[in-house]
Structure 1
Amino acid sequence: MASIAAGNTSILKPSEEAPHVAAVLKQMIEETFEPDYIAIVTGPGQQVSEELIAKQHLDLVFFTGSTAVGRKIMQAAATQITPVVLELGGKSPCIVAADASIDYTAKKIIFSRFLNCGQTCVAADYVLVHHSVKDKLIAALKKHLLQMYGDDPQQSPDFGRIINLRQFNRLTGYLSQGNIVHGGQHDAADLFIAPTIIDEVAMESPIMQEEIFGPILPIIGFDTHEEAKAIIAKNPYPLALYVYTNSSSTERYFMEGIQFGGGCVNNGVIHLGNTDLPFTGVGFSGMGGYHGKYGFDRFSHLKSIMRSHRLGDTPLWYAPYKKWYVQVLRKLMR
């Protein structure tokens, strides 16, 4: 939308990981727009991106995906000196302070984490909770999971499925890397993984080294703000960060002391839908804010033009420069 609003022609490349969505999108684009205005191409991402980005001079490349692929996109764009906007991933933390309203916090975490079966780029990838309220939070998380998705979430019309078998196998590999305190059921034939809460995970395990992007939520306790901040620093530059607290000083400590793309206080993921806020990553989670006016500006080139008139001309511009000219200029420049 921002590209169209800014008056651009555009080429869309949907992910090959979601072929049905790509087919619907292709049909909609081709029925609505002329191909020389908005075009859509499908196929293997690596092959298509090489033909489009490395071999063509585009005015801008916008990419959503993993940090690893984003790095390749940026390298390809560099051959044509094409600017890029990258919305990448990362391990977005959710911090629950000792003074948080636990029941409210648990409800918001369940909503935001398990939306779209956890396959949301800004979903909290893990929870850091103060040890004094950890057990209460886990109990409240279980309660709200049951209220939202029932005793058998596989039968819930509100709980999704994993996008493909490759991602299903990757995700189920995480289930053995901690103590499952809720969920854990899975069905490969249905690409179903139950909303899962997992405790006692090691920081060195893959589940805490890689973006999960699925319905599995590790819970990690902490005692001090500094300890929580040190844990986050092991996976720097998250795309999002969420803090649940009733203390303004705790809010400032984390919001001002950690580099992240965007986030919420006492809520999760909804900043993504606020068109008055730029959506952006930082460092490994991306670059270039967009949404609303920020998106319009991102897809525009600011062309600077200055118009002059002969009536406003002055001899002060031109040599030979008389001594009093220089004195006047020096006074004007003070």
Structure 2
Amino acid sequence: MAMLTVTPPRTTSAPNWFLRAFGRNKITNTSPSKTSLSSLCEEILKKSQAAFLSGKTKPYQFRIKQLESVVQMLENNESQFLKALQHDLHKPKFEALLSEIAVIKNEAIYAANNLEEWMEPEYVEKTLSTALDECYVLKEPLGVVLVIGHWSFPLQLCLIPFIGAVSAGNCVVVRPSETASNTAELLQNLLPKYLDNECYHVIYGGHKDAQNDLSDLLQHKFDHVFYTGDATTGKLVMQAATKFLTPVTLVLAGKNPCYIDRNCDIYMAARRIAWARFVNAGQNLLAPDYVLCHADVHDKLLKELYTCVTEFYGEAPEKSPDFGRLVSIEHYQKLKELLGCGKLFIGGKSDEGIKYIAPTILLDVKENDPIMEKDIFGPVLPIIKVCALEEAINIIRKREKPLAVYVYSSNFKVISEVMSRTSSGCFCSNDSGMQNMFLTLPFGGVGGSGMGCCHGKYGFDTFSHRRACILRNIGIECVTYLRYPPYVDKNLSLILWASSLSRRSSGWCQIS
């Protein structure tokens, strides 16, 4: 296929699967399906490990072919993916193409366009003592990696890290979310038809006891685990991985704050916030989770939010073809419980039969309300009135570090103040939810919102081992003898002189 060019621009109790995995309140399960799944995991791992040890995934041309195959799979089966996403999340075609299919295709194309450069050894600065040696960093694949996707964007959150792992030369096992079952089944059926069957696998059991399925996977040794999802499960995935000292990347949900300054284009802010909160029915890791609005513009913001929500979805959003549905009855019920917080401004209408909750805005929410403590993952936006920037910053800093911090202001000093005094996986001013569209920026969390990242070269680096390589010159024994006993002060002085660095006025180092 022709290669396109892309211009880079709270519950804390452990679930049953975790207790089972670590032997506490151990459950004995001898059902044929569980035994079969466990055997399948072992079989796939052995096959993947043998393929990796053969060196099959390392050549540049092999990686390129697999990346091109990802694009081909999406292009050839676009209508099937759109249908699956519609069934799982009632996702409109516009949203599905933009946030799932297009972003994955761009990710694969960007990786293919830059892969040769990424794979090149990185030569490092040398001192006089190593001037005749070859010193560089070699980017090596880790081995067999596990990618655990999330149901909110069931295609993107599987295939974006998958592309990073493939470009780095790894074998990959993908575990899509059983909650978005139609997309998971389609991925399981299509990926083997396009990509190498020895190196890339999809494990999807389709069982109701999906957490136990996940525990079975984590009982096997992978060379890296990439997990996207909620913080509670993320902590348990990380703990399970310690059994094999397996490195883990976690991209976790969190309470993303959004500050509205008194000096701000409220018309623009309302539309961008409403889109980011209500797209995909609010089931979005990067959505603004609560708004801290300056008292001077509070009423104006509410007026604009009401207007733009009506413009977006009409007077009856349940009839709008552009508004999604919650992914499951369980998720619907959890979210419904949070609607009792604060005072209802707009929305609040719900229908369990179609897993529908209207775009909802809550006022007079308190910092310790349940909706401010739990992940929302739905079309509900709490708004807290604040009297000053300092108050907003203090509220943000009291909480775990979020995946994203947003600020809307026409004053650069305000933007700079929020950016410098808060910490988050990413930061965005005067827009929301667009960060993962930029292939040249890392996507990941910090602290309570995770560790590590993906996207573009950052994904390649996540799944690569940076191996330090020194190829020493064998003809300089007349110099290296200085390090051998018996030790002499004169020899020590010569070695220190040859290997020392001194500071330049510009801040760079140079040989003494």
Q: TM-score range by the shorter chain?
A: over 0.9
* Residue 263 of structure 2, aligned match among 96, 99, 124: 99
Cα deviations across residues 40-76 of structure 1 (Å, max 9, x unaligned)?
A: 11234432332222x3221100001110000100000
Q: What SS class does the counterpart of residue 219 from structure 1 fall into?
A: strand
Aligned-partner residue type, residue 31 of structure 1: K
SS in 2 for 1:264: strand
* Letter paired with 2:168: A
- How far apart are 1:323 and its partner, in Å? 4.3
Amino acid at match of 1:332: A
Q: What is the aligned partner in structure 2 of residue 40 from structure 1? A: 202
The answer to whether structure 1 residue 49 and structure 2 residue 227 are counterparts is no
For residues 99-248 of structure 1, the aligned pairs below 5 Å read 99-248=263-412
User: Is residue 182–residue 197 contact of structure 1 (8 Å, CA) maintained in 2?
Assistant: yes
In the superposition, the TM-score normalised over structure 1's length comes to 0.96
- Matched with 2:185 is 23
What is the alpha-carbon distance in structure 2 between the residues aligned to residue 233 and residue 248 of structure 1? 20
Contact 2:366 2:384 in 1 (8 A): no
1:134–1:321 Cα change, 3 Å: same
Spell out, residue by residue over 1:165-191, the C-alpha distance to the aligned partner (whole angstroms, 9 max, x if none): 111111122222121111111111111
C-alpha separation in 2, matches of 1:320 and 1:40? 60
Counterpart of 2:490 in structure 1 is 324
Q: Could you tell me how far apart the structure 2 residues matched to 1:266 and 1:22 are? A: 35
The CA RMSD measured in Å over matched residues stands at 1.4
Q: How many residues align?
A: 333
Instruction: Quote the Cα distance in structure 2 between the aligned partners of 1:79 and 1:183.
Output: 47
1:254 matched to 2:254: no
Give, in angstroms, the shift of residue 322 of structure 1.
Answer: 4.0
- Which residue of 255, 267, 277 corresponds with 2:431? 267
Q: CA deviation at 1:100?
A: 0.9
1:321 positional shift: 3.6
Structure-2 separation of matches of 1:316 and 1:168: 73
Task: Return 5+ residue gaps in structure 1 as ranges.
Answer: none
Question: Would you identify which runs of 4 or more consecutive aligned residues in structure 1 move more than 4 Å?
Answer: none
Question: Distance between the aligned counterparts of 1:49 and 1:23, measured in 2?
Answer: 16
Whole-angstrom CA distance in 2 between matches of 1:260 and 1:306: 37
Residue aligning to 2:236: 72
What 5-or-longer segments of structure 2 have no aligned partner? 1-162, 501-512
* Alpha-carbon distance in 2 for matches of 1:269, 1:263: 10
Cα deviation for residue 203 of structure 1 reads 1.9
CA distance in 2, matches of 1:152, 1:160: 13
Taking a change above 3 Å as real, the CA distance of residues 10 and 235 of structure 1, as seen in their structure-2 partners, is same
Contact 1:90 1:235 in 2 (8 A): no
Tell me, what secondary structure is at the counterpart of 1:163?
A: coil
Question: How far apart, CA to CA, are the structure 1 residues paired with 2:189 and 2:195?
Answer: 10
Counterpart CA distance in 2 for 1:103 and 1:244 is 11
Q: Which residue of 2 aligns with 1:278?
A: 442
What is the aligned counterpart of 1:11 among 157, 162, 173? Answer: 173
185-194 or 75-84, which deviates more: 185-194
